[in-house]
Each structure stands twice: as structure tokens, then as C-alpha cells.
């Protein structure tokens, strides 16, 4: 395909002035023009418009799990488009690829999660989960059971409802839907549990949840939504046993448990889904996107329990929800090929070894003065930088510490994602041991360089 623009760096960046970037300081982009045009990708690498090859340390946006340019996925998309380019899953229509994918997801999802509604982004998957649950409670004659419990540190997406479920800090200067969502405490022991053991901190979190539920009234609360590991909120791993205990608490109060596995599923933590296999909780709904197609096509899924499905498909029920691209043939084909590839190459199983090496390599960076905490699991890691290690003093936003280190890493051939004082790493899951070691080496050099310039 030929583009109508010049694809040199200057050409791309000139056309790009018409593009509104997401989650960006648009004014700073205008002023300093510090944008990177990615023009190609293969395996664990991407190439920028200057011809520099970079390790894709963030897997696109924690999504290119199977790696870039996988022929099997590309061929499946092309074959699908040559067979059936588009048809909807509205009304009484269906098509073989979406049907096959729903069956495959029912097989992979834990417990009795066997009913799948498709969307086209993680945000939409989460909005759908809430809309569907509200409808479910209406049908049960419990129209007041509508509130949503989320958490400080959460990220659930950018649509109006998903952003209301996200931690409020993400909407500074923006509005969110009011009145529906209540945020429980963030389960970050290192920052929030000062002076407590992890077990004591877990008790505090459970007490907080319990008292919030009692105050709001369980009869008014529809669900609790939680990422197994909080990602874009700062890479926060909850205390051991947190999800299992919160799961039991919610069950006692008849509150549904939604796990947002938009990032943690499809191999990133060594399993297709992490809720039960890693965190010991059986959710009522799982939402997923990103690694579902390894990012080759936009697709998300809201996977419902048999019990919820039964109620919303009972007599007189009308499912008034869906998106034009729900179960898009090309996206469904991409997901099926991606899953087949992951099963054939045993990607989740391999991540249990390679991801552990990545994690332990990164943990070794904790000896550097700038590094306050290295946290995460397998190929989902974060490094938090501090001014004073003992006191855990954060840098000021204007210090732009994450950004400086990310830029130093990019100059050395690695893309990492700055998030204030934190650097996020979520590479493709096909990283070899050699690349893993190279990545941690680049990070050490980049942090040391910025540290000495301070
Ligand atoms: N949930 C989580 C946990 C996410 O990390 C994200 C995106 N980073 C979303 C939901 C939203 O997904 P999307 O950007 O596809 O709407």
C-alpha cells in the first residue's frame, strides 16, 4: 500500500500534526516535537523512521504477546477477509469464526465462565460487564443493586464509565460519570502499608472493603472490579492471598467479582488467565482484550458465568447491547490463530521460565540508588524511582525522572514506558534469554547515566 505522505521522519511528523495522540502532553509534543515514528516490526523488535532497531520493551501497549509479524496470525486474518470480510453478530446472525472463538474462550476460562460477548477494546469490555450486570439485577428484581467497587490505583479504560472505575488521578482536569463508582484502598504494601507486615496490611484492606460495603449497603452494590495486578496505575501486586480473600468477602455479601484481565491474560503471567491459576479467585466475569489477538486486530471479550448468562437469556429477556464490530470475523480469526500459536509453542508455559528470568534480572536493579522498588511478575514489571531510598521520597513531576530514563533507554535500543516516577516493562513474550539479559543491561546503564547527571 502506498501512503500519500513522505515516510521519512520529517514527512511522518508533519502529517502527524493532525493526529491527536492519546495520553500525551499535546502542548509539549507541539513544542519539542519529541515523537517517535515506528515504521516496522518483527519478533521482539520494532524499527523507527531513523532506521534504529529497538527492543519492544512494552509489547506495543502490553499487547503484542506473541511477538510482531507472526505469519500464522497475518495469514489467518487474510484468509478470513477473503472468505467473509464482515458480518455482524446482531439479531439472529452469527458466523463460524466468532462462534469457534467463543467456544475456545469458554474452554480456556476458569470455572463456569462459558458465555462470551465480544467488543473491540478493553474499555468496552469493562463497560459491557457493568451494563450486563445492571440488566441482570433488573431481571432479578433488584434494581437498586447498581454500585461498583473499584480501587485506587486501578486502570479500566478511557470510555466514560471505564474511566469512572479508573483511579481518579487519571482524570485530572476531566470529568467522569459520578455517583456509581466507589474506590477502595490501593493494595500497594510498599507505599500504603508502612510499618505493617504484608499480612497485617491485607487485614487492613479487607477491613476497609468490609466497612465500605456496610456503609453503602450490599443490597446497593453490584460488583467489585479488579485487575489481578494493577498495571497502568503503577504496576501494583497485591499482598499474597488478597484476591482469594476479597473473593470470599464479596461472595459473602452477594457482590459479583469482575477480574479485568485485559493485561494479565494470554500468557503474560504464564497462564491463559491469571485469576484462578495465579491468584486463586474464581470470578463471575472476566474481561480481556490486548493479548487476545496479540494486538493484530482490535478485539475484547466479556466472559460471563453460566449463572449470569442463564438470567440474561431467560424468558422475556432482550439483550439490548452490542457493537458493530462485536465478534468481527478478521479479529476473531486473529484471536484463534494467536491462541493456536500460543498453544503450539507453549508460550504461557515458557513464560514461567523466561518471565521469571526477566523478573529476577529486573529485581537486581534494586541495588541502584535511584531505584525505590522493583515490582511485578514475569513479563509485567515496574521500577519506581525515588529521590531518597530510605525515606521513599518521590521525585516531583517536573523532574520527569521516568521520561529521562525512558529516553536514555531508547537511545540504547530499548523502548520502555514512563509513568511519572515509574518505568513500565511489558515486552513480547518471545523474549530470548539473551534479549532479556540485554534489556536489563540497558536499563542498568540508563538508570546509572541519569543518576550521575542529577
Ligand atoms: N483494563 C486494563 C487493565 C488496561 O490496562 C487497559 C488498557 N491499558 C484497559 C482496560 C483498556 O483497554 P483499551 O485501551 O483497549 O480500551
305-322 residue pLDDT tens: 999 999 999 999 999 999
Alpha helix (H) residue ranges in 304-398: 306-312, 329-344, 347-363
What is the residue-wise DSSP string for 78-99?
HHHHHH------STT---HHHH
* Residue whose C-alpha cell reads 532479556 in the numeric block: 436
In contact, 399 and 38? CB cutoff 8 Å? no
Question: Are β-strands 422-425 and 417-419 bridged in parallel, bridged antiparallel, or unpaired?
Answer: antiparallel
Specify the pLDDT at position 9. Answer: 78
Q: Is the pLDDT of residue 42 over 80?
A: yes
In contact, 128 and 117? CB cutoff 8 Å? yes
- Ligand 1 mutation pick, 58, 232, 258, 295, max ligand atoms within 8 A of CB: 232
> What are the helix and strand counts (H, E) for the chain?
16, 16
CB-count burial class (<10 Å; 0-12, 13-18, 19+) for 269: buried
ipTM rounded to 2 decimals: 0.99
pLDDT digits (tens, 9 = 90+) for 6-33: 777 788 878 888 899 999 999 988 887 6
Specify the pLDDT at position 13. Answer: 79
Specify the pLDDT at position 16. Answer: 82
Cell of 117: 460477548
Of the chain, the end-to-end C-alpha distance in Å amounts to 46
Beta-strand (E) ranges in 176-299?
A: 181-184, 221-226, 256-260, 285-288
Does the pTM of the predicted model rise above 0.95?
yes
What residue ranges define each of the domains in the chain, with the CATH number in brackets?
A: 36-69+347-453 (3.90.1150.10), 72-344 (3.40.640.10)
Specify the pLDDT at position 2. Answer: 77
Closest CA to 287 of 270, 297, 301: 301
Residues with CB under 6 A from ligand 1: 121-123, 126, 155-158, 227, 231-232, 260, 262-263, 289
* CB atoms near residue 302 (< 10 Å): 27
Please tell me the distance from the alpha carbon of residue 283 to that of residue 300, in angstroms, as a whole number: 17
Q: How far is the CA of 122 from the centre of ligand 1 (A)?
A: 5
Amino acid at each position: 500500500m502506498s501512503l500519500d505522505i513522505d515516510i521519512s521522519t520529517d514527512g511522518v511528523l508533519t502529517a502527524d500534526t493532525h493526529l491527536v495522540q492519546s495520553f500525551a502532553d499535546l502542548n509539549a509534543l507541539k513544542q519539542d516535537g519529541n515523537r517517535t515514528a515506528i515504521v516496522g516490526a518483527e519478533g521482539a523488535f520494532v524499527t523507527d523512521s531513523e532506521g534504529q532497531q529497538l527492543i519492544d520493551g512494552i509489547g506495543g501497549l502490553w499487547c503484542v504477546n506473541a511477538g510482531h509479524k507472526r505469519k500464522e496470525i497475518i495469514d489467518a486474518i487474510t484468509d478470513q477477509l477473503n472468505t467473509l470480510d464482515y458480518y455482524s453478530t446482531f439479531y439472529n446472525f452469527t458466523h463460524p469464526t466468532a462462534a469457534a472463538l467463543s467456544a475456545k474462550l469458554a474452554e480456556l476460562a476458569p470455572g463456569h465462565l462459558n458465555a462470551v460477548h465480544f467488543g473491540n477494546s478493553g474499555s468496552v469490555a469493562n463497560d459491557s460487564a457493568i451494563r450486563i450486570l445492571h440488566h441482570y439485577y433488573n431481571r432479578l428484581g433488584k434494581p437498586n443493586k447498581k454500585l461498583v467497587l473499584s480501587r485506587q490505583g486501578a486502570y479500566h479504560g478511557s470510555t466514560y464509565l471505564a474511566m469512572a472505575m479508573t483511579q481518579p488521578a487519571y482524570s485530572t482536569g476531566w470529568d467522569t460519570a459520578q455517583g456509581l463508582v466507589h474506590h477502595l484502598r490501593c493494595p500497594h504494601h510498599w507505599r500504603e502499608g508502612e510499618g505493617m507486615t504484608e499480612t497485617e496490611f491485607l487485614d487492613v484492606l479487607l477491613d476497609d472493603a468490609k466497612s465500605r460495603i456496610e456503609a453503602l449497603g450490599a443490597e446497593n452494590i453490584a460488583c467489585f472490579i479488579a485487575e489481578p495486578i494493577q498495571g497502568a496505575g503503577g504496576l501494583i501486586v497485591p499482598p499474597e492471598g488478597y484476591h482469594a480473600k476479597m473473593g470470599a468477602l464479596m461472595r459473602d455479601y452477594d457482590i459479583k467479582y469482575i477480574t479485568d484481565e485485559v493485561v494479565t491474560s494470554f500468557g503474560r503471567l504464564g497462564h491463559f488467565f491469571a485469576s484462578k491459576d495465579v491468584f486463586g479467585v474464581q470470578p463471575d466475569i472476566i474481561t480481556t482484550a490486548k493479548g487476545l489477538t496479540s494486538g493484530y486486530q482490535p478485539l475484547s471479550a466479556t466472559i460471563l458465568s453460566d449463572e449470569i448468562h442463564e438470567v440474561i437469556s431467560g424468558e422475556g429477556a432482550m439483550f439490548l447491547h452490542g457493537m458493530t464490530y462485536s465478534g468481527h470475523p478478521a479479529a476473531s480469526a486473529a484471536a484463534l490463530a494467536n491462541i493456536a500459536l500460543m498453544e503450539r509453542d507453549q508460550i504461557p508455559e515458557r513464560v514461567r521460565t523466561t518471565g521469571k528470568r526477566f523478573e529476577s534480572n529486573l529485581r537486581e536493579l534494586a541495588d541502584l540508588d535511584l531505584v525505590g522498588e522493583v515490582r511485578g511478575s514475569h513479563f509485567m514489571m515496574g521500577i519506581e524511582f525515588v529521590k531518597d531510598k530510605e525515606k521513599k521520597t518521590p521525585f516531583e513531576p517536573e523532574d520527569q525522572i521516568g521520561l529521562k530514563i525512558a529516553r536514555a533507554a531508547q537511545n540504547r535500543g530499548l523502548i520502555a514506558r514512563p509513568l511519572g516516577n515509574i518505568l513500565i516493562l511489558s515486552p513480547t513474550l518471545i523474549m530470548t534469554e539473551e534479549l532479556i539479559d540485554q534489556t536489563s543491561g540497558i536499563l542498568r546503564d540508563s538508570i546509572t547515566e541519569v543518576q550521575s547527571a542529577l
